């Protein structure tokens, strides 16, 4: 990573830093990919003024990582809430990642009103996750990452989320849609959270889906078993190469008679 000297650092706007404290001191530059990666590694060593300041910096850093196509494996789950990783299931688990489609467009159209929309969205997502027996691992900006001990519960939550999104009256008659990725794997649960390819795969599966769509991996299909599979609508989407994953992944669309089932091709090209 090229060193950021004082002259060039001064030229950067405040928006190029994840954290600007109340005195105007700027830390964790995020103006390019290399510095975003460095900020992810250094985040836990920064002394923030208070928890809201930490959360704002964390959200800005994760948004910068998303812009540069960086999946911060270990960071998302490393910033767990006070409940700690001991409350989370280990072994074979199923992850669910829900992400708002066109969040930047919503922010541009709604301005300050977008914060209220996000608050309503988080309540909706959390209600569906908890109702299916899941655990919230992380929520940042317009995303929620959850884990389930059993794959059928994760699909129950995903379908519940899409129904709740459909039925919600959004501000200014906005069409707010979330895309959902679901994957089963055996990540490592450390004292800072989940680490492993299963986390990475879940994010990649979510990223190729469209708003209103639920996409799962073949590992989820194997985990739910024949009886459970027969109770939901499953559409084979074929083999797809996911960025950063070693092998092509067979992906499937999950649906129900009361939900939309027609979407454009996955965003893998």
Q: How far apart are CA 62 and CA 80, in angstroms?
A: 14
Residue 79 in this model has a pLDDT that exceeds 80:
no
Query: What's the chain's Rg over C-alpha atoms?
Result: 19
Q: What is the pLDDT of residues 28-78, one digit of tens each?
A: 999 888 888 888 878 877 877 777 788 888 888 888 888 887 766 555 555
Read off the pLDDT of each residue in 204-211 and give the average, rounded to a whole number.
93
Q: What is the pLDDT of residues 155-183, one digit of tens each?
A: 999 999 999 999 988 776 568 899 999 99
Using an 8 Å Cβ cutoff, are 269 and 240 in contact?
Answer: no
In three state form, how does the secondary structure of the chain look? CCCCCHHHHHHCCHHHEEEECCCCCEEEECCCHHHHHHHHHHHHHCCCCCHHHHHHHHHHHHHHHHHCCCCCCCHHHHCCCCCCHHHCCCCCEEEEEEEECCHHHHHHHHCCHHHHHHHHHHHHHHHHHHHCCCEEEEEECCEEEEEECCHHHHHHHHHHHHHHHHHCCCHHHCCCCEEEEEEEECCEEECCEEECHHHHHHHHHHHHCCCCCEEEEHHHHHHHHHHHHHCCEEEEEEEECCCCCCCCEEEEEEECCCCCCCCCCCCCC
Q: How far apart are CA 198 and CA 203, in angstroms?
A: 9
Q: What is the pLDDT of residues 227-250, one digit of tens each?
A: 677 778 999 999 998 887 888 999
Using an 8 Å Cβ cutoff, are 194 and 147 in contact?
Answer: yes
pTM: 0.71
Please state, in angstroms and as integers, the Cα–Cα distance from residue 115 to each residue in 97, 171, 180, 266, following that order. 20, 11, 21, 29
Q: Is 102 left (phi over 0), alpha (psi -120 to 50) or beta?
A: left
Q: What is the pLDDT of residues 100-142, one digit of tens each?
A: 888 777 777 777 777 777 888 888 999 999 999 999 888 777 8
> Locate tokens 């994840």: which residue?
18
């Amino acid at each position: 990573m090229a060193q950021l000297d004082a002259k060039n650092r001064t030229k950067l706007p405040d928006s190029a830093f994840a954290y600007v404290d109340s005195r105007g001191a700027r830390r964790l530059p995020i103006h390019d990919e290399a510095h975003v990666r460095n900020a992810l590694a250094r985040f836990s060593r920064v002394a923030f003024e208070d928890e809201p300041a930490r959360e704002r910096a964390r959200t800005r850093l994760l948004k910068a990582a998303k812009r540069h196509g960086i999946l911060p494996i270990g960071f998302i789950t490393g910033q767990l809430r006070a409940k700690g990783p001991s409350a989370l299931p280990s072994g074979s688990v199923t992850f669910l990642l829900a992400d708002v489609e066109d969040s930047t467009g919503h922010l541009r159209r709604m301005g300050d009103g977008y914060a209220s929309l996000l608050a309503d969205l988080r309540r909706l997502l959390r209600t569906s996750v908890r109702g299916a027996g899941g655990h919230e691992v992380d929520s940042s900006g317009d995303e929620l990452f959850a884990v389930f001990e059993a794959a059928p519960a994760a699909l129950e939550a995903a379908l519940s989320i899409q129904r709740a999104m459909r039925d919600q009256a959004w501000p200014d008659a906005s069409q707010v849609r979330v895309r959902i990725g679901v994957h089963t794997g055996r990540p490592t649960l450390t004292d800072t959270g989940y680490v492993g390819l299963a986390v990475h795969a879940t994010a990649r599966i979510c990223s190729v889906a469209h708003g209103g769509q639920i996409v799962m991996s073949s590992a989820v299909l194997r985990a739910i078993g024949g009886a459970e599979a027969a109770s939901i609508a499953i559409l084979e989407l074929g083999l797809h190469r996911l960025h950063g994953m070693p092998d092509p992944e067979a992906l499937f669309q999950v649906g129900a008679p009361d939900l939309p089932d027609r979407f454009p091709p996955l965003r893998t090209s």
